[in-house]
Amino acid sequence: MRGTKQKTPAGSLLELVVIVAVALGLALGIQAFLVKPYRIPSGSMENTLDINQRVLVNRIGNNFGDPGIGDVMVFHPPIGATEGGPNCGTDIPEGTLCPQPTEDKDDVNFIKRVVGLPGDTIRVVDGRVIRNGQRADEDEFVNLRFCNGGDNCTFRGQIKVPPDHYFMMGDNRGASDDSRFWGPVPRDWFIGGAFATYWPPKKVGLL
């Protein structure tokens, strides 16, 4: 009967390195193509998502279907959405919605909720969305924080969302920098949909 060949220290070390490399490769592959963690950087999605709360973003689903009303999406905003540069892609009168974004996307990531689809007409009154002439039924979106007056709450006129663009708003309607100011977001700027929160432990659950 032949004995089992003993592993040498060098062989064991090589096996460990291979296992670690494969595990890291799988983890990076999952993050790059399937699911990516994301930290909430601001209070624009309160009360649904708090600052520093962690969510999981479905990246692969972004390639097989279009976002729908109510979906919470992570995306690249247009240049100008952050500090520096013009906010809107066209000149607009003060107090009106931005109808189009600047041409290029920013490198940063934003998280907001889809409130308008391609071809929709959008108005915003008292922080509530008027979609295609009817007030959107947003009560199903739990923990919305509506406006209490101020410049972010009511806008004059309406816009039509361009083809392949989506109108995005934060749940904290009085304190969210969103499509009201820098326009609808092109479809190919989306990273993926947030589908669950995993931190802190008391907030674990599906969105």
Q: How confident is the model at residue 123, as a pLDDT?
A: 97
Please, which residues have CB within 8 angstroms of residue 31's CB and are 6 or more apart in sequence?
37
Residues of the chain scoring pLDDT < 50: 1, 3, 21-33
CA atoms within 13 A on the CB side of 159: 29
Tell the CATH topology of 37-206: Umud Fragment, subunit A (2.10.109)
Q: How confident is the model at residue 22, as a pLDDT?
A: 44
Cβ atoms of 171 and 45 closer than 8 Å: yes
Please, which residues have CB within 8 angstroms of residue 86's CB and are 6 or more apart in sequence?
80, 102
Digit-coded pLDDT (tens) for 55-78: 999 888 676 689 999 999 999 999
159 token code pair: 């816009």
Distance CA 187, CA 83 (A): 23
Distance CA 148, CA 51 (A): 21
Question: Among all residues, which ones are annotated catalytic?
Answer: 44, 112
Distance CA 165, CA 204 (A): 31
Distance CA 130, CA 61 (A): 28
Distance CA 117, CA 38 (A): 24
- Amino acid, res. 140: E
What is the radius of gyration, based on Cα positions, of the chain? 22
Each domain of the chain, given as residue ranges in start order, spans: 37-206
Q: Residue 137: in which H helix or E strand, if any?
A: none
Among 164, 190, 169, 144, CA closest to 69: 169
Please, which residues have CB within 8 angstroms of residue 10's CB and are 6 or more apart in sequence?
none
Q: How confident is the model at residue 135, as a pLDDT?
A: 92
Q: How confident is the model at residue 28, as a pLDDT?
A: 44
Q: How confident is the model at residue 29, as a pLDDT?
A: 45
Long-range contacts of 200-203 (CB under 8 A, 24+ apart): 200/53, 203/50, 203/53
